Amino acid sequence: MVSRELGGAADDPALDLDDRTLTYGELEREIARAEPTRGRYDVSALPPGEALIQVCAAARRGLPVAVENPAARPHRPGPPPPEAFLLVATSGSTGHPRPLARTAASWYDSFPEFTAITGVTGADRVLLTGPLHATMHLFGALHALWRGACVTDDPASATVAHAVPAVLREIVGRAPHLRTAVVAGIAPDPGALRAARHLRVVEYYGSSEVSLVAARQVPQPLRLLSGVDARTRDGLLEVRSPYTVLGAPDWFGVGDLAELGNNRELRVLGRGEAVINVGGTTVVAEDVERTIAGIDGVVAVAVIGSEHAVFGETITAAVHLDGIEVAEVRRRARRILAREAMPRRWVTVGALPVTAAGKLARGRLRELLA
């Protein structure tokens, strides 16, 4: 092991990004040369390889590093707390970035348990599938370096991929050596699971604010990580964790509807903001989406509530289709959905609007379907 942040031996491959390859020994030397500017680092506009060098340098020196979307940076009203390591942001489905700061320990302390869950080894090549300012990708890359694996942007050589379900579906056919898919950001839909049926699929649940909360190997249920506690209030999940961002309350409201079961099992029902009230019946948007996504030919689907004078709300479905007509999707959906959950309006789209992290941007979808 080269250092606390780097788990590989000096001659082991560490980075294969941006048409540049570095061993762990070479990466160590690059980290030593990476100087901060005015007592901090800012990698927001850098290519991934150079960004990871400077993030590791910040961790080594105990300095803050900004990893933000350069096109939508959050406003930070003052200097970061002295213990801050990562200065990141979350936009969720609204597209409005909110500044966050976390310590190095809030991620690095979770890496041993994350390793046990995912099975990532130093021999793996871990595929980077999205921008580092989306924290799931930054987390996956830093964990890979801590483990001694190689971080790569080449699907053809990857053995492990961190990806949201939509991206996983797209890369599976280009990654012949892939053995493990680590899915986060949104629960894997039936289409993604079909595409990855020959792989070991690990799903974890969390958020930018609380990091890892629960994980599972599909098809097992999600279970809370050790050291993480959860409760529900009015059906909404609250989490107490050693991995939360700086300044978070002791019990953090994640904003998801959830149920807690025996043996620390967690069932996430969907975003509280995605609950649709149809004539007094509560319909969870993600439940409807998962059901419709299971129909062959449905590439992607999202549903929202639309105002209705009699029922309060009805359901509108936006569907991206391949080889099937919307009338046939509607016919099949009617057989498997409850009456209240059946969309009254169907709109075909070429693609669904997503955030930089690959999550559905419901606010933009509402604007498009207005």
Given a contact cutoff of 8 angstroms between Cβ atoms, the answer to whether 304 and 362 are in contact is: yes
Going by the DSSP 8-state scheme, the letter that residue 172 receives in this structure is G
pLDDT at residue number 96: 61
- Residue 98 is predicted with a pLDDT of 85
In sequence order, the 6+-apart residues with CB closer than 8 A to the CB of 292 are: 298, 301, 303, 317, 319, 329, 333, 337
Residue 65's DSSP bridge partners are 41, 86
Write the pLDDT tens digit of every residue in 19-40.
999 999 999 999 999 999 999 9
Q: What stretches in the chain show pLDDT beneath 70? A: 1-3, 91-96, 273, 280, 356-357
pTM: 0.80
Side-chain-facing half-sphere of 167: CA atoms under 13 Å: 24
The whole-angstrom separation of Cα 139 and Cα 53 is 14
Q: Considering Cα of 302, then 308, then 311, then 313, what sign does the dihedral take?
A: positive
Helix axis angle for 285-293 and 326-336, nearest 10°, is 120
**According to the model, what pLDDT value does residue 22 have?**
98
Q: How far is CA 98 from CA 141, 208, 209, 321, 355, in A?
A: 22, 10, 10, 34, 13
Ordered domains of the chain (ranges, CATH): 13-268 (3.40.50.12780), 279-369 (3.30.300.30)
Q: Given this model, what pLDDT does residue 1 score?
A: 43
Rg of the Cα atoms in the chain = 21
Q: What is the pLDDT of residues 299-336, one digit of tens each?
A: 999 999 988 877 788 999 999 999 999 999 999 999 99
